[in-house]
Structure 1
């Protein structure tokens, strides 16, 4: 769990940092902003799926059958 949190924190802070410096880098502003946004979104997805009972886990799949854990 600690390793998962460290990965989340690196992605989260890294994404915020990349978005923050994107306006200073001439010629790559949009690319860096999109990369930072992708890192930020990836960090949110990582922390929601990290634990066995994560926020996005379902007890049943889409057709109502048993989950394939």
Structure 2
């Protein structure tokens, strides 16, 4: 949650900076991406099911 909110904080901060806007905005994108990747990798989430996307062996 800290990474996700920190990324959005950097998005907003980038608009206020006179220099290095691109660097700060890119860092915000990176933080949000890392936060989402971390959440999707958690054990027991929907992406870890044996029957993921309804792909069964039988057709």
- TM class, shorter-length: 0.7 to 0.9
Aligned partner of residue 22 in structure 1, secondary structure: helix
Higher percent of residues as helix: 2
Larger Rg: 2
Equivalent residues in 2 for 1:1-69, closer than 5 Å: 9-50=1-42, 52-57=43-48
CA–CA separation in structure 1 for the residues paired with 2:8 and 2:21? 14
Report the alpha carbon displacement of residue 54 of structure 1 after superposing the two structures with TM: 3.1
Q: Which blocks of at least 5 consecutive residues in structure 1 are unaligned?
A: 1-8, 60-69
CA distance in 2, matches of 1:58, 1:42: 22
Structure 1 segments (4+ residues) deviating >6 Å = none
TM-score where L is the length of structure 2: 0.72
**Which 5+ residue runs of structure 2 have no aligned equivalent?**
51-59
Count matched residues.
50
Q: TM-score, normalised by structure 1?
A: 0.63
